[in-house]
Amino acid sequence: MPELPEVETSRLGIIPHIQGQNVEKVVLRHTQLRWPINQELGVKLEHQTISTISRRGKYIIIKAGHGNLILHLGMSGSLRIVPVEMPYKKHDHVAINFSNGLSLRLNDPRRFGAIIWTETDPLQHALLKALGVEPLTEAFNDNYLFEASRQRKTSVKQFLMDSHIVVGVGNIYANEVLFAAKINPHRAAGKLTLADCKILVTNIKKILSLAIKQGGTTLRDFLSSEGKPGYFSQQLQAYGRSGLPCPHCKHILKTTRLGQRATVYCPVCQKK
């Protein structure tokens, strides 16, 4: 399940293969993703040249000619770069073929992903416009998180996962960050102190950047764009370790649900 590090890894992985390339053909094999793919996508994209491949939150933005492709990998989406003649794999929904003989394939078994074509500023698109700050920028700091959390009754975990506050902190990293910060996931966001916020910000930046450096967390349905799995999963401390001993105090990690999502924490270490 791609989180921000996986998305960034995918973005960096496809850049050398598609930047500056001309789109020769678009193949829509299955258009029913989170939203139906615009049937005109081929008409819009073909013969356009890819200029930049950027990212906002978990959205990848591919500039092609005068328009932009906004891409989201959802829960199970992945990108691959393969030779054009490579046979399709199951759940390859879209192929974008380039003049250099390579094909960008979007594979998404659960189809929670999205591909949107826009001819206006992609950052002003309804899906992107209201997004919170990027976690790896100066704008994301202890004061910002503290101010944003005032009066919020929701749990700190759900608060951190709210993309309108900060983007890129999904379930896996929310669990990891709270474990590292020794903060209980149930704690009301509004009760965080400035010092708590500082610890959270530090750990979010640290864990996300380390995961990006290592190529993202590998889960069973994620492959980076060149098919190489990442390595971060080998060092997850809390996520997926329910019932196993806490890496710090050896107490058994506990699992609950917050906002319908698996929440793993150490009842001894995470008392704050």
Partner DNA sequence: AGTGCGGCCTGTCCGC
Partner DNA sequence: TGCGGACAGGCCGCAC
* Binding flag, residue 161, DNA (CB under 7 A): yes
The least CB distance from residue 190 to DNA, in Å, is 7
Catalytic residue among 25, 110, 261, 272: 261
Q: How many CB atoms lie within 10 A of CB 198?
A: 17
The least CB distance from residue 118 to DNA, in Å, is 14
Give the one residue of 20, 42, 65, 74 binding DNA; rule: CB under 7 A: 74
Among positive and negative, which fits the CA dihedral 35, 39, 44, 49? positive
Determine whether 272 is an active site residue: no
Determine whether 229 is an active site residue: no
Distance CA 143, CA 166 (A): 13
To the nearest 10°, the Cα dihedral for 267, 270, 271, 272?
-160
Which part of the chain contacts DNA (CB under 7 A), choosing from 15-23, 165-173, 206-214, 223-231? 165-173
Which part of the chain contacts DNA (CB under 7 A), choosing from 48-56, 93-101, 156-164, 223-231? 156-164
- Contact map string, positions 38 to 67, toward DNA, x by CB under 7 A: -------------------xx---------
Which residue reads 């189809």 in tokens? Answer: 111
Q: Output 101 or 190, the one with its CB closest to DNA.
A: 190
What distances in angstroms separate CA 134 from CA 207, 208, 251, one per listed residue?
Answer: 14, 11, 34
Determine whether 267 is an active site residue: no
Distance CA 184, CA 187 (A): 6
Which part of the chain contacts DNA (CB under 7 A), choosing from 38-46, 92-100, 225-233, 252-260? 252-260
Helix (H, G, I), strand (E, B) or coil at 198: helix
Q: Order across the sheet with 23-28: list the strands.
A: 23-28, 92-98, 102-107, 78-83
The least CB distance from residue 140 to DNA, in Å, is 16
* Binding flag, residue 171, DNA (CB under 7 A): yes
Q: Output 16 or 259, the one with its CB closest to DNA.
A: 259
Determine whether 5 is an active site residue: no
Contacts of 227 (CB under 8 A, 6+ apart): 80
* Binding flag, residue 183, DNA (CB under 7 A): no
Which of 73, 70, 76, 80 shows the shortest CA–CA distance to 38?
70
Give the one residue of 137, 220, 234, 243 binding DNA; rule: CB under 7 A: 220
Asked whether the beta carbons of 29 and 94 are under 8 A apart, the reply is: yes
* Binding flag, residue 124, DNA (CB under 7 A): no
How many DSSP H helices and E strands does the chain contain?
Answer: 7, 10
Residues that bind DNA (CB under 7 A): 1, 3, 32, 34, 57-58, 72, 74-76, 90-91, 109-112, 126-127, 151-154, 158, 161, 163, 170-172, 190, 220-221, 257, 259-262
Q: Which residues are catalytic?
A: 2-3, 58, 261
